[in-house]
Amino acid sequence: MGYVNAQGCGRRAWKASSLPESQELLQLEIPSGSSYTRLPPDHTTYPFRLPLTLIARRFTSEMLSSLTPEARTVLGGYITTCGHNPPKPHFTKVYGPKVVEKPADLAPGEYNFWMTLAPFMTVQDFGVCEFGEWAERMRALATARVFLWDDRNSKGGKE
C-alpha cells in the first residue's frame, strides 16, 4: 500500500531506514570503556535514537579532546548563546561549558539538540580552533539525525 504525500500523490514514501547503512547503525557496538547508561526517550519505539546518541557522544568527546583552555572558553560561550534558544520545544537547552568540559556526560536530549548545532560550530572561524574533518562528520551525523531520529522502522523495509 502506498502513502499519500503532501502534494496528494500516491507514491511510496522513501525511508532512510531502508538503506543498508542505516541498518548497520542498529548493530553498532561501542567499546565497553565508552558505556553510556542514559537512554534516549522512546528508544525502543525509535530504534535509531540510541545509536545516534552514542555516535554523537563519541564524536563530541573526540572532537573536543584537544582544545586549548582558550578555545574551550570561546566555543563554550558560543554554544551557550545558540544552545539556550532551542528552535523546537522538544529540544533540551545546551550549556556550552558542559559540552566542552564534559562532552561524555550530556543527557540524551542535550545530544539530540547538539547534533543540530554541531555542524554550525565546526564551520565557524573562532580564531582559536579549527575542526577540519570533524565538520564533515558532524554534518553527516546531523543529516542522519534528521532522517532517522523519529523513524520507527528497524527492519529497513517499507512501513
Q: pLDDT of the chain along its 159 residues, tens only?
A: 444 444 445 455 668 888 888 888 888 876 655 677 888 989 889 999 999 999 999 999 999 999 999 999 999 999 999 998 877 777 889 999 999 999 999 999 999 999 999 999 998 888 888 898 999 999 999 999 999 999 987 666 554
> Rounded distance, CA 41 to CA 38, Å?
9
How high is the pLDDT of residue 20? 83
Residues 36/148/79/41 CA torsion (nearest 10 deg): -50
DSSP structure class, residue 16: G
How high is the pLDDT of residue 12? 56
How high is the pLDDT of residue 4? 44
DSSP structure class, residue 96: H
How high is the pLDDT of residue 156? 60
Question: Do 149 and 112 touch, CB atoms closer than 8 A?
Answer: yes
How high is the pLDDT of residue 74? 93
Helices and strands (DSSP H and E) totals, the chain:
6, 0
Alpha helix stretches (DSSP H) within 19-123: 20-26, 49-64, 69-83, 96-101, 108-123
How high is the pLDDT of residue 60? 94
What are the C-alpha distances in Å from 27 to residues 19, 50, 145? 14, 11, 17
